[in-house]
Amino acid sequence: MKKFDPSTSIHDYLVFGEFGDVNPSITDSSTFTFLSTKTMEESFQHETEGCFLYSRHWNPINKFLSNALARLEDAEAAQVTSSGMGAISSTVLQICSAGDEIVSERTIYGGTYAFFKNFLPRLGITVKFVDMQKPEMVELAVTEKTKMIYAESISNPLLEITDIPAISRIAKAHNIKLVVDNTFSPMVISPLRLGADIVIHSMTKYINGSSDCVAGCICSSAEFINSLTDVNSGATMLLGPVLDSLRAASILKNLHTLHIRMRKHSENALYLAEEFEKLGIKVYYPGLKSNKQFALINELMNEGFGCSGMLAIDAGSYEKACKLMELMQNEKVGYLAVSLGYFKTLFSCPGHSTSSEIPEEEQKAMGLTEGLVRFSIGLDGDITIAAERIKKCMKTAGIL
């Protein structure tokens, strides 16, 4: 496969504002005027180049951001949404109807799990959760009713790597859509190039990078994106997960520094993972040579962006995990907070926060322990300072 550099692809995307601005102009309008009734009528039937109808469908700045995101994922097209869950729910409801089935990775974001487990059955859609680390389990779960296979490129919160090419072969053999959430690894992994059909991001996280908005996106073929925006049957058109134009403009600016941020997030995370491993602590980080999936992520990843800034450790118990996190916040390592991709380090205990929607017995089955602490490593200039502070906190918490 030809080498792909998403940063260069985005760098080559030049959009001029209305008066030659280096930033595209923000069109702060919900509706748009037409010079002829014929053009308005055509716009209701399909997208007309250079014409905009209504911001629930498209507006200029959302279109510019979507085009840049398509370049990020080497997709034909993309659509922005008001949240990552908006992207997930719109994609699922565009593909699946009552009586259909989804085969999903069992280790996924808690919000996605709750949507699959608790909400979709109300619509007659069944979800089977499997250990996607074993592709044969996916094959066994597929039936004639299966319309989608759903995975995360790097899973939340155990940081397991999905063998996208292997799962893609199963999907294609059964004419099923493979949908991959790539929130943890933008630029690091390019799922469409590895065989996925649709890629989803919560842009709230790394893509935006400043924890000041909620947003999502869907990247896929032009055919699928057009189906989402169809006036009569499109999920994003009819469900209304519209991204505010001011936020879209802000995210588009931040997107141009994503390559720099991902390199630094990854560099800092690898340093800390190696330091923690030396201390004898159980560390979850795919960039460690000792990680069982080190070879796999090196096969899948793009060069130059590392293995992402997410890592996790097992503190031994929930009590020790809580004490550690409170101490780290007091020592100014970062914030006790959910989410990820911020320029400061964030940490939380997934079993009692972002994965709390998953029943306790299922958490245990997937290997999510009570003492698991998930880190989103920040952009610290000197990560050795954070490392020493964390070690101090670990000793005080009784982990070392």
Q: Which residue segments constitute the domains of the chain, with CATH numbers given?
A: 6-255 (3.40.640.10), 260-396 (3.90.1150.10)
Contact 159, 165 (CB under 8 A): no
pLDDT tens across 74-131, in order? 999 999 999 999 999 999 999 999 999 999 999 999 999 999 999 999 999 999 999 9
On the question of pLDDT at 351 being above 80, the answer is: no
Helices (H) and strands (E) in the chain, counts: 15, 12
Q: Please enumerate in sequence order all residues whose Cβ is within 8 A of that of 91, keeping only pairs 6 or more positions apart, or say none.
A: 179, 198, 200, 218, 228, 235
Q: What is the pLDDT of residue 327?
A: 98
pLDDT tens across 232-266, in order? 999 999 999 999 999 999 999 999 999 999 999 99
| pLDDT, averaged across the chain | 94
Longest CA pairwise span in the chain (Å):
73
pLDDT tens across 133-189, in order? 999 999 999 999 999 999 999 999 999 999 999 999 999 999 999 999 999 999 999
Tell me the pLDDT band of 46, cut-offs 50, 70 and 90.
low
pTM to 2 decimal places: 0.95
Contact 174, 142 (CB under 8 A): yes
Q: What percent of the chain has pLDDT over 70?
A: 97
Return the structure tokens found at 159: 């940081």
Q: Is 189 helix (H, G, I), strand (E, B) or coil?
A: strand
Element (H, E) at 112: helix 110-114
Distance, CA of 400 to CA of 386 (rounded, Å)? 16
Q: What is the CA radius of gyration of the chain?
A: 21
DSSP category for residue 118? I
